Structure 1
Amino acid sequence: MSSIVLTNPIIWADIPDIDMIRVGDVFYMVSTSMHSMPGCPIMRSINLKDWEIVNYVFDTFEDNEAHNLANGKGIYGKGSWASSLRYHNGTFYVCFSSNDMQQFYIYRTEDIENGSWERSVINGLLHDPALLFDEDRVFVFSGNGNIYITELTADAAAIKPDGIRQLLLEGERDGIGLRIEGCHAYKLNGYYYLFFIDWPRTGHGRRRELCYRSKELLGPYEYKVILDDDLGYRNKGVAQGGIIDTPSGEWYAFLFQDHDAVGRIPCVLPMAWEDGWPVIGDGAKAPVSFAANLPESVSKPLVISDEFDYEENKLALNWQWNHNPDNSLWSLTARPGYLRLETGRIVDRVVLARNTLTQRTEGPACCGTTVLDLSHMKAGDHAGLVALQSEYGIVGIQAEDNGELYVVMGINRGDGGMETLEKLKYNGSRIHVKIDFDFRDSMDRAYFYYSADGTEWLSIGRPLQMKYTLDHFMGYRIGLFNYATRQSGGYVDFDYFRYTKTV
């Protein structure tokens, strides 16, 4: 087997709360998806470096006003959090809690790459769950600061009526801002290992990774800080995750790092064992790059260009909707070679617009462009491209009552509504729009452009200072949108989406 070089971040994009397993020679990863649908992406790799989206756990998991962006409600920053992925006796399991639903979800499939998932729902939250199969018993570790253990039935479908359900341990309080959470649980070589993050106020004052261990399931547990490092980036700690072994017996830690507006990005670090404790990096120092005894692989893009040349209404897995889509109001087949977005419910801002179709943004810089056919817009319609987060920015077209069209650039004015920064009359039935994202040197700025021909680009408005905010709790996405402010039934056809990434 040839040696490869792993460089952190392994993916410079928002893939937070990662959990990994290995089945044979293949690694699988799941992550938090919150308000993006389909959700809980399943990614595949043979070398921990090159990852491909191969499936989602669910298309949608609830059908209500908030999940459907109805009546001013939404699930920004909520939805599915901190999924745990495990494989046991031929079945794959994913579990997570949903803060908005106050419920715990468990999904099962025998085919992680192509199969559908059966779900069970348990009332109540199990915060940041870690699923552990221990011979013929099943446990979930969960909580923040105070960590609980809950025993499930053998099929992991319900809480075991006479099983263990109790406080397991309490994290340190003195000098700690965020107490232990984000559990990942393993049973290895006679020990139970629980991995957590915490965030002390003292010392470096950044997120760090801890490991608790015990030879008994119910403790007592001892712990060590096993990583307190920021990879040279703004004192942003690399933490929250677990461990994975390779077919050749090497061990790695998988964690993530807050990277401002682009989101929370995954990292992989070399790990060894000393006296039964995991030791990450070189003297607890995280390396940016290192050699790994893993095979070469073909790298497939996380974010793609798309000509919308489909034979059925089934998008590439790289796309996700902002909240649940209304499948009656979008089409890839109504006009072959185009994505059609038809307006439905009347709204007054892009963050309430249903059927906004998104992909992630990537560092260090990236750019997305599209072209819109405007022939069937109605008065009050607004369509274009959005840099989507709470502090959003848009470039697109507004249709007025008299049939005139205006190209506009706008931002969140502070209450979710849009402040128009520039508005120019536009003549023509097609328009090209573009957003450039720059995450280099902590700039975190987006730039907005339009063009009549796709060749001569004109800047509009001003650069957006992108900010990662906890109300959305997600890195910036680029999205195609069309919404109505006065009457429904208009539509816009997007000819393509083209994407480039700075390497």
Structure 2
Amino acid sequence: MKKIFKLIFACLLLPVSDAALSQAQNPLIFADVPDMAMIRVGENYYMSSTTMHMNPGLPIMKSADLVNWKIINYAYDMLADTPELNLTDGKNTYSKGTWASSLRFHQGIYYVSTFSQTTGETYIFKTKDIEKGNWEKASFKPAYHDSSLFFDDDGKTYLIHNAHTLKIVELNDDLTGVRPGVPEKIFIENASAPAGEIMSLGAEGSQLFKVKGKYYLFNICAPTGKGRTVVIHRADSINGPWEGRVALQDRGIAQGGLIDTPDGRWFAYLFRDYGSVGRIPYLVPVKWEDGWPILGENGMAPDKLDLPASTGLIPNLVASDEFDRKNGQAALPLVWQWNHNPDNKLWSVHERKGYLRLKTGRIDTSFVQARNTLTQRTIGPASTGSTLLDVSKMKEGDFAGLSAFQKNFGQVGVKVENGKKWIVMVNAGSDQPVEVQQVPLSQNHVYLKIDCDFTDTRDVATFAYSLDGKAWSPIGDTLKMTYAIPHFMGYRFGLFNYATKNTGGYVDFDWFRIKYKNK
């Protein structure tokens, strides 16, 4: 029997013979990584993205092959200390925080710019070491919407911003504000025009590039009834005149820019709205004809790419966590983000070795207003998150557990009510949270699990619990997951604990584990 087992195991380790599996495939990343900006420095690629109200914020990722990405940094730990960002005074900043960033490398320094509707400011972060960070921050008003940072060859630096009617401002030498005495100008009067006259979304998401002396501006727009579209404008001077054309109109795959490889190939990086998992990245081959980048194959984003195969998103963009920290290790791996700014007094991975402790410090009546929900991305086409929870120190009115987190969330957890513990499932799929089922709990440990299925935008989550980690029982009903614009983010797995009656209780999460199902 042992010989048979060894033979089976050896076969599992053999390379897959199917040539298709040796190629990269679209979507490039089946998870919420929207508003990408990308650069290549030598042999390495770097990418920034949007995570809005999550903290730390503005993730920086690295790849050696354009396919397999790893989170290496964040531009900021906390954007600002305000009630909206702190989830205090009944305020929040869902769907805001920071949006579409612009990533650049110029004269040995890495820059990433972004803007915030929450603070009304534009931010420019810079560092000499993108992997170790130590970002220096500059901020100034106003918040330049979807701005593209651009260093021109004559030493001038610009931000191109706005929607439909695009505008340009010149920055001062240290990039701490707009250059005095240089007025803002119209960059392109009607940037949506190449795609038609009627727009459900005017041209935005600007990203400006210079290739062989010509300027190329990428935008996304949405002609009514035709879906999201890539529009490219071209000029010989940054002052124009500009000529534009539709570059791609395929399944809503749009917004992004250009990246080249060391061997001279070109790709466009874009994303696609894909239901409740979020906005997922695509790579599209680019050929150059008559000075224009031609996107896709026969006007389509191909399913397969002439690039190395993906090795999976685990553990580089999402990861299981045993919460067992060695000396010198970060308290939390980079895959984790807090919902809004955390209260750092109320969580720890050191108070009990090998556990994440979440403590209550105030009374909350709403899950979406509760602080210190710890999150990471779900994965498509299907993924499972599970955890083991010690509930022995909960107090009356406390609720703790695991969530499929978005505006229309679902929860499976433990609630203390009338001195008794109950396993409960809450479904907020119809906007208002409904406690669907209660099961009495007579022990201090419980296993919780959520299965998410995004296959062909099926977008459903189911919930289960176990008393021994072996036999699982379903609880509640199916959550129909919805990509709700008020949160503007794909669903996330979230670990939570909040008080509704008394403060001072706490729970200990033994581990969180995520599995990926490639259907």
| Cα distance change, pair 352–297 in 1 and its aligned pair in 2 (3 A) | closer
SS state at 1:17 partner? coil
CA contact (8 A) 1:51 1:300 kept: no
SS state at 1:67 partner? helix
- Of the candidates 255, 263, 266, which is equivalent to residue 251 of structure 1? 266
Supply the distance in 1 between the matched residues of 2:309 and 2:493 (Cα, whole angstroms): 33
CA contact (8 A) 1:47 1:297 kept: no
Q: Does 1:197 align with 2:213?
A: no
Q: Give the gaps of 5 or more residues in structure 2.
A: 1-19
1:122 CA displacement: 1.0
Q: Which residue of 2 aligns with 1:105?
A: 123
Encode CA deviations 1:238-286: one digit per residue, 9 max, x unaligned: 0000000111111000000000000000111110111110001223221
Q: Does 1:92 align with 2:115?
A: no
Q: Does 1:428 align with 2:446?
A: no
Instruction: Give the AA of the match of 1:290.
Output: L
CA contact (8 A) 1:445 1:463 kept: yes
**Structure 1 length normalisation: TM-score?**
0.95
Q: Which residue of 2 aligns with 1:478?
A: 493
Q: Which residue of 2 aligns with 1:380?
A: 397
CA contact (8 A) 1:52 1:300 kept: no
Supply the distance in 1 between the matched residues of 2:247 and 2:253 (Cα, whole angstroms): 11
1:295 CA displacement: 9.7
1:455 CA displacement: 0.9
* Structure with the higher fraction of residues in helix conformation: 2
Supply the distance in 2 between the matched residues of 1:441 and 1:270 (Cα, whole angstroms): 24
1:5 CA displacement: 2.0
Q: Which residue of 2 aligns with 1:83?
A: 101
CA contact (8 A) 2:429 2:482 kept: no
Q: Does 1:208 align with 2:226?
A: no
Moved more, 407-416 or 121-130: 407-416
- Of the candidates 198, 202, 211, which is equivalent to residue 188 of structure 1? 211
Instruction: Give the AA of the match of 1:191.
Output: K
Instruction: Give the AA of the match of 2:167.
Output: Y
Q: Which residue of 2 aligns with 1:410?
A: 426
Q: Which residue of 2 aligns with 1:165?
A: 184
For residues 86-485 of structure 1, the aligned pairs below 5 Å read: 86-135=104-153, 136-169=155-188, 170-171=190-191, 172=193, 174-202=197-225, 205-230=226-251, 237-292=252-307, 301=315, 302-311=317-326, 314-401=331-418, 403-412=419-428, 418-485=433-500
SS state at 2:181 partner? coil
Q: Which residue of 1 aligns with 2:13?
A: none
Supply the distance in 2 between the matched residues of 1:303 and 1:244 (Cα, whole angstroms): 25
1:176 CA displacement: 1.7
Supply the distance in 2 between the matched residues of 1:121 and 1:140 (Cα, whole angstroms): 13
SS state at 1:328 partner? helix
Instruction: Give the AA of the match of 2:157.
Output: V
**Structure 2 length normalisation: TM-score?**
0.92
Encode CA deviations 1:194-215: one digit per residue, 9 max, x unaligned: 000110014xx10010100111
1:337 CA displacement: 0.4
For residues 43-62 of structure 1, the aligned pairs below 5 Å read: 43-62=61-80
Count residues with an aligned counterpart.
491
| Cα distance change, pair 114–397 in 1 and its aligned pair in 2 (3 A) | same
Q: Which residue of 2 aligns with 1:489?
A: 504
Encode CA deviations 1:406-456: one digit per residue, 9 max, x unaligned: 11101227565x321111221111111100000113210000011111111
1:313 CA displacement: 5.9
Q: Which residue of 1 aligns with 2:92?
A: 74
SS state at 2:95 partner? coil
Supply the distance in 1 between the matched residues of 2:58 and 2:361 (Cα, whole angstroms): 27
1:300 CA displacement: 5.2
- Aligned-residue Cα RMSD (Å) equals 1.7
Q: Which residue of 1 aligns with 2:16?
A: none
Moved more, 307-316 or 360-369: 307-316
SS state at 1:144 partner? coil
Instruction: Give the AA of the match of 1:214.
Output: A
CA contact (8 A) 2:410 2:429 kept: no
SS state at 1:284 partner? coil
Supply the distance in 1 between the matched residues of 2:330 and 2:258 (Cα, whole angstroms): 38
1:162 CA displacement: 2.5
SS state at 1:81 partner? coil
CA contact (8 A) 1:313 1:331 kept: no
Supply the distance in 1 between the matched residues of 2:283 and 2:312 (Cα, whole angstroms): 18
| Cα distance change, pair 191–413 in 1 and its aligned pair in 2 (3 A) | closer
Supply the distance in 1 between the matched residues of 2:182 and 2:291 (Cα, whole angstroms): 29
1:8 CA displacement: 0.6
SS state at 1:82 partner? coil
Encode CA deviations 1:458-489: one digit per residue, 9 max, x unaligned: 11110000000100000000000000001111
CA contact (8 A) 1:50 1:300 kept: no
Supply the distance in 2 between the matched residues of 1:297 and 1:112 (Cα, whole angstroms): 24
1:112 CA displacement: 0.5
Moved more, 441-450 or 309-318: 309-318
SS state at 1:139 partner? strand
Supply the distance in 2 between the matched residues of 1:141 and 1:426 (Cα, whole angstroms): 57
CA contact (8 A) 1:329 1:341 kept: yes
| Cα distance change, pair 333–104 in 1 and its aligned pair in 2 (3 A) | same
Supply the distance in 1 between the matched residues of 2:397 and 2:309 (Cα, whole angstroms): 54
Encode CA deviations 1:27-86: one digit per residue, 9 max, x unaligned: 000000101111111000011110000111111111111101112211110001001100
Supply the distance in 1 between the matched residues of 2:245 and 2:136 (Cα, whole angstroms): 38
| Cα distance change, pair 341–298 in 1 and its aligned pair in 2 (3 A) | closer
Q: Which residue of 2 aligns with 1:233?
A: none
CA contact (8 A) 2:321 2:512 kept: yes
SS state at 2:99 partner? strand
Instruction: Give the AA of the match of 2:272.
Output: Q
Encode CA deviations 1:109-142: one digit per residue, 9 max, x unaligned: 1110112111111111211111110021100100
Encode CA deviations 1:329-381: one digit per residue, 9 max, x unaligned: 10001000000000112101211111110010000100011011111001010
SS state at 2:368 partner? helix
Supply the distance in 2 between the matched residues of 1:123 and 1:215 (Cα, whole angstroms): 31
CA contact (8 A) 2:429 2:479 kept: no
Q: Percent identity?
A: 46
Supply the distance in 2 between the matched residues of 1:101 and 1:143 (Cα, whole angstroms): 17
Supply the distance in 1 between the matched residues of 2:481 and 2:310 (Cα, whole angstroms): 35
Supply the distance in 1 between the matched residues of 2:394 and 2:492 (Cα, whole angstroms): 25
